[in-house]
Chains A and B, each alone.
Chain A
Amino acid sequence: MKSRPKDQAVVDKCIAKLEACDAIEACIVESREMVDKAWDAMDKVLEVRSTMF
């Protein structure tokens, strides 16, 4: 691992460990929640306007 990981096998091993500890999946969940939360907040504000028409 101390060598420059241009060897795809080393890179793949690293990626596999990131998958195994759920770091990648956690990023996806976090992103989805982030967007959903912001959408809900925006939707409440814009909903008021939509009722005006």
Chain B
Amino acid sequence: MLNQVECTDETKLRMYQIWIEALRGGHAGQGLDIHGSDHLMDAAVESGDSKPVEASVHCIHRLKTAFPARCLAQMGAIYGGGSDEEVDAIGVFFEATGLAFQIIDDVLNLRGLVKPGEKMSQALKVVGEDITEGKVTAPIAKAMSLLKTKKERQVRTRCVTFIMRKQQHTSGQWLSGWPFPLLTGVLCCRHERRRSGIS
């Protein structure tokens, strides 16, 4: 598609660079998504502090979806002759939209998604699928600080962590070389992109 775009070589190069960043970010996010955030859940259950888990989930959502959305929007803005400030502002908006999309996707997994006039049995999403797959999602992460007692938090996470640990024996090992400190929740996506070599 970029080959057919009529613009200066400088603009085309800039667009290609952003496109490559989108691919790198998306792949990094997908890898981290496979690894999951369950390794942070024990501490969250103990402390009732959901921030590290939430930051980890948001990081995965950002890299997997929000960052590629940002990049593609920025490519359009650059092609349209936007200023640096406009390109950045459009990128920030699409990144926020991408992150919000993923969070709402987690919500819909719990509440279901049906077309108007259809029954829940015809839902476009299998309700609770993330729970049966043991996935730590945005609502589960957030619940860690909203549930008052440790006992309550344990009830919530047992089914999740149990399954994830079983799955890690097969699917998590190959990612052992990934920069997991990035997932501790204290770094924003921008820092993580830098560390991953994504400018």
Contacts and interface: CB of A to CB of B under 8 A. Distances in A.
Given A11-B131, A15-B131, A38 B106 contact: no
Contacts of B107: 24, 27-28, 31
Nearest to B66: A34
Interface string A10-53: 11101101110111101110111011011101101110010000
Interface stretch (B5-13, B24-32, B142-150): B142-150
A14 B96 CA distance: 28
Contacts of A17: 143, 147, 152, 155-156
Interface string B101-114: 00110110011000
Contacts of B136: none
A11 B132 contact: yes
Interface string B85-102: 110011011011101100
A32 B96 CA distance: 10
Interface stretch (B33-41, B158-166, B179-187, B189-197): B158-166
Contacts of A31: 99-100, 103-104, 107
Interface residues of A, number: 36
Nearest to A14: B131
B76 interface: no
B90 A2 contact: no
Given A2-B159, A5-B132, A35 B96 contact: yes
The 7 closest A-B CB pairs, nearest first, are A38-B96, A11-B128, A23-B143, A31-B100, A45-B89, A42-B93, A21-B146
27 contacts: A5-B163, A14-B128, A14-B156, A15-B128, A15-B131, A17-B147, A18-B139, A18-B140, A21-B146, A23-B142, A24-B107, A26-B146, A27-B103, A27-B107, A27-B138, A28-B104, A30-B142, A31-B100, A31-B107, A32-B100, A34-B99, A35-B93, A35-B96, A38-B92, A38-B97, A41-B93, A45-B89
